[in-house]
Amino acid sequence: MKTVEMPKMGDTMEEGRILRWIKQEGDPVNKGESLAEVETDKVNIEIESFASGVLRKILVPEGASAPIGAGIALIGAPDEPLPDSLSGNGSVKASATKEMEKGTTASEGSEQTLREAKGDYRAKQTSVQSPTDAGSQGRIFISPIARRIAEEQELDYSRVEGTGPNGRIIKLDIEAALAQKQETLAPSTPARLPILEATEATEIPLTAMRRTIAKRLSQSMQTAPHFYVTSVIDTGKLADLRRQINEYAQKESDPVKVSFNDLIVKAVAIALVRMPQVNVSFAEDRLILKKQVHIGMAVALEQGLIVPVIRNADQRRVLAIARESQRLAELARAGKLRPEDFSGGTFTVSNLGMFDVDSFTAVINPPESAILAVGSITPTPVVVDGQVVVRDRMKVTLSSDHRAIDGATAARFLQEVKRLLEEPFGLLL
Amino acid sequence: MRTITYRDALREAIREEMQRDERIFILGEDIAGYGGTYAVSKGLFEEFGEKRVRDTPLAEEVITGAAIGAALGGLRPILELMTINFSLLASDLLVNSAAKFHYMFGGQPQIPLVVRMPGGGGAQRGAQHSQMLESWYAHIPGLKVVMPATPYDAKGMLKSAVRDPNPVLFIEHELLYNVKGEVPDEGIEYTVPLNRGEVKREGQHVTIITFSRMLHVTLQAAEELAKEGIQAEVIDLRSIRPIDIDLILDSVKKTNRVVIAEEGWKYYGTGQGLAALIYEFAFDYMDAPIQHVNSADVPMPYSKVLERAALPKKSDVVNAVKAIVPKALVHS
């Protein structure tokens, strides 16, 4: 039984998707005949069989993807028994590899002996532990000194391309990456700041939270091209609705007070369900559309900032959102949030309305692709039917990652949010 | 400075030491009238007479025992064994007597014994007479094991070995006796310590650690690599035990890459022991796995063609270096 592996058809290819099987299970196959059509990151291509026999088993169905080197089908004699473990891709791959190794030992015994005599296991290791092997995907090969330098210089080496054997990241690669980073950062390198006398300034060592904020938001600003769309929202009806809700909610067995922010969270959640292309992450070679809507809400703390997450905000009713946001805000201030309370967000709302700001722009919270910055509600003279009257207005600014979201999409999303907040009954329906 | 052979350098060391100290005598098979199997002791019988240049029977266990006894009794014997392969017959005395007595008897006895013997292959001596067995002895606390590769080091280290109060195994190589090199004029006194390696060629891209005959193969490989821009640092261990680990670590921290080139077999040998030390103490400085150049893992074939195939060659060293020195590094 021979295993057909997902071939590597390009330098950047990591996996391929089976578009269609040209041969079906039971079909006879000749060497060189097309077996299946595969979609890679760049092209669609037909893969040819390297063996003759019968296509005994398809391991990866149409529409599914497999990493390079993973078994996608088995070719053998019509009566040859299939391997015992056909439960999952990995196990098939493992047993197929073992079988192939056994074959090597028997048929190429002399070469094996010579290799052992020379004490050279390189070839063997490569076939079993190649970094693209299904089992070891995600592991980064890096030499000890390269890792040490990267850690000392706080360089994220997960994106550095290794040029050593096995794709190993070597010292040279790290030095090149550092040189590049240095070039980018040169103008603002902290080391170039004038050193102040102790009497002129106080040095405060960074807390872990401050370090995280610095790292993540620098990363966001440096990698995600931000653009901003601002909208002015009439909050008259929203204020009325909020008053009515709160009158009702006071009499609940578990009384709760709904804030403007809770209503904004609800509006954003509904808008994200309607426009999933905003509920997205940019992942270098693909966009990841999130099926769930988890809204982060930025909470200011004395020592910094944290963004607890209201999970499935689209499915929660307004009172449930209000209860959850109060619970999370209290935990945040008490420093008792668990990691799951502030991870996994798909969109963030940052509200500085209580500080009397007209409007502001926020930095996207990666891996999210957009954030809504909410300003104060301000009585504003506006023209209605030719008359100057005073209405409550609120400015909101959406920051979007242009790699994932285009201007028109951002504008339409903001329109949707505006409509939901200006005709707020939709929030309850 | 003159240029003399490794063989002549050894003879000068023995003669000068025998002239200096009357307690020193040499013994071994065919070393007196015949002048030694490799002609190292030629002329010494005529100069020093049968009391200090003694032919022995072909019985390694007996003559090694005799030499240990003489050392215990206050003499300073230099024992020549025809090859290291025959030392296996005497290994109980070397390992269980020579290496142990000073430790077992309260530090009272000293065994200032030198055992000279060639190892290695390349002269079609067959499987039983072509072995590198230094790692067997280097495993034993209580023994010193040295393997100089040049005439200068051979003379200087043999003198240090003779003056050392401990048993020293002084391992030569059949193909080194005719190697020529610069040595200070006769009568100019110098010694080379028994615990120091030496950088025989400086470089920054890779450290090649070697010893004995393979030093010369390695220096040729380094010359060839230099033509392609790869600057190899060549360390001659000189002493297998004790090992000059500081010298090695300093170099590894500079180059981040190591090739160990030795004539012995790979498994459980000198090179593997050394590699373990490097990984233990310089792990954070390594940029590539250590490469080993060894003889093939077979008893040495007699056939000239097969023997040549089994022994490590210049091209093996060159290829091992190229496997771990990135091209981009050389061209930058």
Is a pLDDT exceeding 60 seen at residue A195? Answer: no
Is a pLDDT exceeding 60 seen at residue A100? Answer: no
Residue with the bigger pLDDT between A13 and B83: it is: B83
A287-289 and B24-28 strand pairing: unpaired
Is a pLDDT exceeding 80 seen at residue A240? Answer: yes
Q: Please tell me the distance in Å from B137's CA to the nearest CA on chain A.
A: 23
**Contact criterion met (CB below 8 Å) for A399 and A371:** yes
When mean pLDDT is compared over A31-40, A383-392, B224-233, the highest value belongs to B224-233
- pLDDT band of residue A376 (cuts 50, 70, 90) is very high
B28 within domain boundaries: yes
Q: Does B296 touch chain A (CB under 8 A)?
A: yes
Q: What is the mean pLDDT of chain A?
A: 83
Q: What pLDDT is recorded for position A85?
A: 60
Q: Based on the domain organization, do B247 and B306 belong to the same domain?
A: yes
**Contact criterion met (CB below 8 Å) for A80 and A27:** no
Q: Based on the domain organization, do B145 and B243 belong to the same domain?
A: no
Alpha helix ranges (H) inside B164-293: 214-227, 245-255, 270-282
Q: Based on the domain organization, do B165 and B266 belong to the same domain?
A: no
How many residues are present in chain A?
429
Is a pLDDT exceeding 70 seen at residue A63? Answer: yes
**What pLDDT digit, counting tens, does each position of B18-42 carry?**
999 999 999 999 999 999 999 999 9
Q: Would residue B173 show up in a list of annotated catalytic residues for this protein?
A: no
Full residue range of the structural domain in which residue B47 is found = 2-183
Please give the full DSSP string across B170-235, using - where no structure is assigned.
Answer: EEEETTTTT-EEEEPPTT------TT--EEEE--SSEEEEE-TTHHHHHHHHHHHHHHTT--EEEE
Q: What pLDDT is recorded for position A84?
A: 67
Q: What pLDDT is recorded for position A95?
A: 39
What spatial distance separates the first Cα and last Cα of chain A, rounded to whole Å? 59
**What pLDDT digit, counting tens, does each position of B107-147 carry?**
999 999 999 999 999 999 999 999 999 999 999 999 999 99
Last residue of a domain, one of B153, B183, B213: B183
Alpha carbons within 13 angstroms on the beta-carbon side of residue B22 total 1
Q: Based on the domain organization, do B320 and B172 belong to the same domain?
A: no
Percent of chain A with pLDDT over 70: 82
Q: Based on the domain organization, do B167 and B256 belong to the same domain?
A: no
Beta bridge partners of B24: B76
Among A125, A157, A172, the strongest candidate for a mutation testing the B interface, having the largest count of B CBs within 10 A, is A172
For residues B52 and B17, give the distance between their C-alpha atoms in angstroms, rounded to a whole number. 12
Token pair in block for residue B230: 């790869």
Q: Based on the domain organization, do B115 and B11 belong to the same domain?
A: yes
B93 within domain boundaries: yes
Please list every residue in chain B whose beta carbon sits closer than 8 Å to the beta carbon of residue A119: 266-267, 292, 294, 297
Helix pair A260-274, A407-422: axis angle to 10 deg: 130
Helix pair B245-255, B270-282: axis angle to 10 deg: 60
Last residue of a domain, one of B150, B183, B216: B183
Short-list A1, A51, A55, CA closest to A23: A55
Q: What pLDDT is recorded for position A68?
A: 85
Q: What pLDDT is recorded for position A70?
A: 86
Token pair in block for residue A385: 């039917």
B332 within domain boundaries: no
For residues B93 and B111, give the distance between their C-alpha atoms in angstroms, rounded to a whole number. 12
**Contact criterion met (CB below 8 Å) for A29 and A54:** yes
B15 by Cβ neighbours in 10 Å (0-12 / 13-18 / 19+) ranks as middle
Q: What pLDDT is recorded for position A165?
A: 83
B126 within domain boundaries: yes
Q: What is the mean pLDDT of residues A259-269?
A: 96
How many residues are present in chain B?
332
CATH label of the domain that carries residue B217: 3.40.50.920
Short-list A402, A186, B44, CA closest to A410: A402
B165 within domain boundaries: yes
For residues B268 and B264, give the distance between their C-alpha atoms in angstroms, rounded to a whole number. 10
Backbone φ, ψ for residue B45 (5° rounding): -60, -45
Q: Based on the domain organization, do B147 and B275 belong to the same domain?
A: no
Is a pLDDT exceeding 80 seen at residue A264? Answer: yes
Q: What pLDDT is recorded for position B192?
A: 98
Q: Does B297 touch chain A (CB under 8 A)?
A: yes
Q: Based on the domain organization, do B31 and B166 belong to the same domain?
A: yes
Residue with the bigger pLDDT between A137 and A261: it is: A261
Flag if A117 and B297 touch (Cβ within 8 Å): yes
Is a pLDDT exceeding 80 seen at residue A312? Answer: yes
Among A129-133, A239-243, B200-204, the least confident range: A129-133
Token pair in block for residue B316: 């093996």
CA angle A105, A109, A115 (to 5 degrees): 95
- pLDDT band of residue A184 (cuts 50, 70, 90) is low
Among A87-101, A245-259, B303-317, the least confident range: A87-101
Residue with the bigger pLDDT between A406 and A252: it is: A406
Is a pLDDT exceeding 90 seen at residue B89? Answer: yes
Flag if A145 and B286 touch (Cβ within 8 Å): yes
Is a pLDDT exceeding 80 seen at residue B70? Answer: yes
Q: What three-state secondary structure class fits A150?
A: helix
Q: Does B330 touch chain A (CB under 8 A)?
A: no
A181 by Cβ neighbours in 10 Å (0-12 / 13-18 / 19+) ranks as middle
Flag if B256 and A171 touch (Cβ within 8 Å): yes
Among A143, A147, A168, the strongest candidate for a mutation testing the B interface, having the largest count of B CBs within 10 A, is A143
Q: What pLDDT is recorded for position A205?
A: 79
Q: Based on the domain organization, do B202 and B176 belong to the same domain?
A: no
Short-list A358, A367, A345, CA closest to A298: A345
The residue of chain B with its CA nearest to that of A150 is B284
**What pLDDT digit, counting tens, does each position of B72-86 carry?**
999 999 999 999 999
Q: Based on the domain organization, do B210 and B167 belong to the same domain?
A: no
Has the ipTM of the complex gone over 0.85?
A: no
Q: Based on the domain organization, do B213 and B142 belong to the same domain?
A: no
Q: What pLDDT is recorded for position A138?
A: 63
A28-29 and A53-58 strand pairing: antiparallel
Please list every residue in chain A whose beta carbon sits closer than 8 Å to the beta carbon of residue B272: none
**What pLDDT digit, counting tens, does each position of A118-174 carry?**
555 554 444 333 334 333 446 789 999 999 899 888 888 888 888 888 889 999 999
Residue with the bigger pLDDT between B177 and A51: it is: B177
CATH label of the domain that carries residue B11: 3.40.50.970
For residues A271 and A422, give the distance between their C-alpha atoms in angstroms, rounded to a whole number. 13
Flag if A172 and B329 touch (Cβ within 8 Å): yes
Q: What pLDDT is recorded for position A137?
A: 47
The residue of chain B with its CA nearest to that of A152 is B284
Q: What is the mean pLDDT of chain B?
A: 96
Token pair in block for residue B225: 């690599």
Q: Based on the domain organization, do B155 and B36 belong to the same domain?
A: yes
**Contact criterion met (CB below 8 Å) for A1 and A83:** yes
Alpha-carbon radius of gyration of chain B: 20
Flag if A118 and B296 touch (Cβ within 8 Å): yes
When mean pLDDT is compared over A337-341, A363-367, B112-116, the highest value belongs to B112-116
A71-76 and A2-5 strand pairing: antiparallel
Domains of chain A: 2-132 (2.40.50.100), 144-188 (4.10.320.10), 209-427 (3.30.559.10)
Q: What pLDDT is recorded for position A344?
A: 87
For residues A62 and A372, give the distance between their C-alpha atoms in angstroms, rounded to a whole number. 40
Among A77-86, A349-358, B212-221, the least confident range: A77-86
**Contact criterion met (CB below 8 Å) for B270 and B262:** yes
Flag if A163 and B294 touch (Cβ within 8 Å): no
B192 within domain boundaries: no
Last residue of a domain, one of B183, B214, B249: B183
**Contact criterion met (CB below 8 Å) for A417 and A265:** no
Q: What pLDDT is recorded for position B214?
A: 98
Q: Does B270 touch chain A (CB under 8 A)?
A: no
DSSP A142: B
Q: Does B328 touch chain A (CB under 8 A)?
A: yes
Is a pLDDT exceeding 90 seen at residue A193? Answer: no
The residue of chain A with its CA nearest to that of B299 is A117
Residue pairs between chains A and B whose CB atoms are closer than 8 Å: 47
Alpha helix ranges (H) inside B256-294: 270-282
B17, B60, B263, B307: the catalytic one is B60
For residues A159 and A177, give the distance between their C-alpha atoms in angstroms, rounded to a whole number. 9
B259 within domain boundaries: yes
Beta bridge partners of A388: A383
Token pair in block for residue B13: 């060391």
Q: What pLDDT is recorded for position A136?
A: 42
Is a pLDDT exceeding 60 seen at residue B320? Answer: yes
Q: What pLDDT is recorded for position A225?
A: 95
Among A96-105, A146-155, A333-342, the least confident range: A96-105
B193 within domain boundaries: no
Question: How many folded domains does chain B comprise?
Answer: 2
Flag if A164 and B326 touch (Cβ within 8 Å): yes
